[in-house]
Amino acid sequence: MEDAVERAPLARWKKWLFIILAAFIVLTIIALFMLNAYLSRSVAQVEGQIFVPDVKEEVTVRTDDQGVPHIYANNTYDLYFAQGYVQAQNRLFQMEMSRRQASGTLSEIVGEAAIDTDKFFRTLGLRRAAEKSYNVYSEEGKEVLQAFSDGVNAFIEHATERNRLPMEFSLMEIESVEEWTPVDSLTIGKYMAYDLGGHWERQAFHYYLLQQFEEEKALELFPAYPDDKPTIIQEGEIDIAASFEKAVIPHPFNGSNNWVIGGEKTKSGKPLLANDPHLGLATPSMWYQMHLKGPDVNVSGVIFAGVPGIILGHNEEIAWGVTNTGPDVQQLYIERRNPDNPYEFLYEGEWEEAEVYEETIEVKDGEAISYEVVETRHGPIISEFASDSMEEEVMSLRWTALDATTELEAIIDINKASNWQEFEEGLEKFLAPAQNFVFMSKDGTIAYKANGKIPIYEDGKDALLPLEGWESENEWDGFIPFDELPTVVNPEKGYIASANNKVVGDDYPYHISNVWGAPYRYERIVELLEENNEFTVNDMVTIQMDDHNLQAREFVPLLLDWLPEEGLNEIEKEAVSLLESWDFHDDVNAPQPLIYHRWLHAIEDIVFAEEIPDEVMNLVGKRGQLLDALIRKGEASNWMEERGGWSEVLSESFTKTITALVNEYGEKVERWKWGDFHKVYFEHPLSDQHPVLKFLFNRDDPLGVGGSENTIMAASYDAETGIVNHGASWRFIMDGADFSNGYHHVSPGQSGHFWSDWYHDQLIDWGSGDYHVTNIEHPTGFELTFVPLDKGYQR
């Protein structure tokens, strides 16, 4: 009896513990259910019906198992309205950030941290250029832009009414989204032209070199030695480091690969085409894959979020892809200011009035900033955008993309083209950025055109440095005529390829560029294309994922020959032995690429770091080519002689490299792996704000990958962290034997919503080279219908 009395409180305690635990589990389930419901409501709707007042007829959107929307409409307006709505459903936050970045309005939502960025883009004037461009668009182009904007705004209205805006808007405390306009889409297009770069930064770098070093030493870092050496303006000096310290510099590795093979070199007897544009790798992807079918178009491929049409891809008759040409389309001018009137600048002995724009930058949690933009006849003054100085001499920027251009008109035309003639006619409207287009058609034609608005320099050496803005002789002499742009149709060798390499020989009558991409990717592509005459789609995949490093193949024997053997410790000798036996593949599991790439960075630091500040080195787009040139020059380099010669530099840098790698990865050299350092990470813009946000938006660990900036499998990385942040943002292969199926890869996935099945589902595929097939004839998947409101539904 006494035992029973003692057990009673224990039983009651267990009972209450069970009740509390059960209640906790129930509450947790309810909380998770509510959280799932909250997050799910902002995931894109892919089934059912959406009633909208704007569409004229029903529109069907079939989303396949890779998250690719296939839009079917009976008229042009409905087609692009639906494209705008679907893009906004999946990428609205990305679209919002893109238009703010390009327009210079990030500070409104970010705060003072974005002020300098906003100042730069207000100064550059991408939005002003977009407004000028809109005014020259045809009625058809304006109707497409407006239909797309109407679709975006319909989604914004629906999402706002139903509290379905993406979670990022709440995290950024953005309570409402401004109406989308056609100019927003064009401004994003202008930003992409800027992101693909020009060469003003390199001109500023050359100017700095000639200011700071003896001419012979400075010229070693020029892309080519001019016969008559360039001169520097002696009157007054512009502080390049201070003037451009806060400029937003595009990533130097914005390049690409493409090639097209004629039927005589394929197993099917029909052409094959491959393209992989190299841009920033982030979450969500820069590209959004779609299929659009309307009364006069049936086109599939990718587009930038916030822009209508399909910029890269194929239709039922043709396929195309691009790489960046990289011509000299930007020119810095040194402007001489009137000491008595800061808004007047000298030109041909007269003072000319500049255009002044009064800008107001709204700042979250801060006071609005009044900001003044000054434009000369050449363009905006960019050398003082981050300061209030009124120096007597400043630099302005002339750039083709700041003119009125009509890229969307070109996209509309090429989406409908059925042969090379129609495609080339469409390209005449594609002005900026200049691109290398490769093309194939069902009739077996393969072709290439370096297309865009490219200035004529009477002497290409003029493009190496800023020019005096007060002399009329320094103006561009028009633009290369469209019919004289580099073009190839059905070449005898049976293929055409480009990889940002030099596209013309010395016999071409016009100057295009002084700074081309390194030749390694192009040379490797050509090596592989010459090896076979029965290419298939699988062969195209193999080539796109090729990690053979021709730079290493050229330089490793030289570097090892110059590296003194005496003084090396056992670990260093083992590293040398591995390099000697290397097959020059940047394999993810190999130690050699880790040693080689880290060694090059150490050499670069020793040669340049002490003499050229970081803010100036950042102006050099293809900075690795500076070291390439010095290696090829050998012992005759001033930069090397001052540091004791190559043997001294290589000995010091190699010891530093191996010591650092031992500290990071241990003494077992054979166990080192390139992929332990070289990892791809598709970062979301909010992931670095808080660990919880990192878990939500980037829960996947960085993925070790092979390749490098010098391999066809392009994988450019941060030298400090090893994170791969630029590379193939989209991979595409098209078989001319079957125009209904395209082979694609869009990392990390189609959706911008982390709760979607298509958020990071293609992330691992980036490193493994897995593609998905998108069919434009009979796609299957989830079905959504846009229904006009007048079909009996009342809001």
- Predicted confidence band at 33 (pLDDT cuts at 50, 70, 90)? very low
Most confident of 236-250, 265-279, 634-648: 265-279
Closest CA to 407 of 180, 143, 136, 146: 136
pLDDT at 553: 98
Measured between alpha carbons, how far is 272 from 542 in angstroms, rounded to an integer? 14
Measured between alpha carbons, how far is 298 from 284 in angstroms, rounded to an integer? 26
| pLDDT, average across residues 32-37 | 46
Count of alpha carbons within 13 Å of 128, Cβ hemisphere only?
A: 17
Which residues share a beta bridge with 259?
Answer: 274, 497
Q: Are 669 and 575 in contact (CB under 8 A)?
A: yes
In sequence order, which residues have a C-beta less than 8 Å from that of residue 67 and are 6 or more positions away? 90, 749, 750, 751, 756, 757, 758, 761
pLDDT at 621: 62
Helix, strand, coil tally for the chain in percent (to 5): 40, 20, 40
Closest CA to 217 of 641, 649, 650: 641
pLDDT digits (tens, 9 = 90+) for 452-503: 999 999 877 788 999 999 999 999 999 999 999 999 999 999 999 999 999 9
pLDDT digits (tens, 9 = 90+) for 505-546: 889 999 999 989 899 999 999 999 999 999 999 999 999 999
pLDDT digits (tens, 9 = 90+) for 281-302: 999 999 999 999 999 999 999 9
CA distances (Å), origin 140, targets 76, 147, 454: 10, 11, 26
Closest CA to 253 of 757, 707, 734: 707
- Torsion region of 269: left, alpha or beta (phi above 0 gives left; psi -120 to 50 gives alpha): left
The overall pTM is greater than 0.85: yes
Residue type (1 letter), 592: Q
Q: Which two tokens stand for residue 219?
A: 């010229």
Collapsing DSSP to helix, strand or coil, 376 comes out as coil
pLDDT at 233: 46
Domain 555-680: which topology? 1.10.1400
Q: What is the mean pLDDT of the chain?
A: 91
Q: Which residue has the higher pLDDT, 446 or 793?
A: 446
Say if strands 355-361 and 350-353 run parallel, antiparallel, or are unpaired: unpaired
| pLDDT, average across residues 556-578 | 96
pLDDT above 90 coverage of the chain, percent = 80
CA distances (Å), origin 137, targets 186, 280, 627: 11, 29, 45
Q: Which ranges of 41-166 does DSSP label H, i.e. alpha helix?
A: 76-103, 107-110, 115-124, 126-135, 139-161
> 84-110 burial, b if ≥16 CB within 10 A, otherwise e?
bbbbbbbbbbbbbbbbbbbbbbbbbbb
pLDDT at 550: 98
- Torsion region of 707: left, alpha or beta (phi above 0 gives left; psi -120 to 50 gives alpha): left
**Domain extent listing, the chain:** 1-40, 555-680
Least confident of 2-16, 395-409, 647-661: 2-16
The pairs formed by 194-198 with CB atoms below 8 angstroms and a separation of 24 or more are 194/102, 194/124, 194/126, 194/250, 194/401, 195/250, 195/251, 195/254, 195/279, 195/280, 196/250, 196/254, 196/324, 196/433, 197/250, 197/252, 197/254, 197/324, 197/326, 197/621, 198/328, 198/329, 198/330, 198/399
Q: Which residue has the higher pLDDT, 35 or 462?
A: 462
pLDDT digits (tens, 9 = 90+) for 220-261: 999 864 455 444 444 456 777 777 777 787 776 667 999 999
pLDDT digits (tens, 9 = 90+) for 440-463: 999 999 999 999 999 999 877 788
| pLDDT, average across residues 554-572 | 95
pLDDT above 70 coverage of the chain, percent = 91
Q: Look at residue 396 and tell me whether its pLDDT is greater than 60.
A: yes
Q: Look at residue 153 and tell me whether its pLDDT is greater than 60.
A: yes
Closest CA to 754 of 700, 696, 674, 667: 696
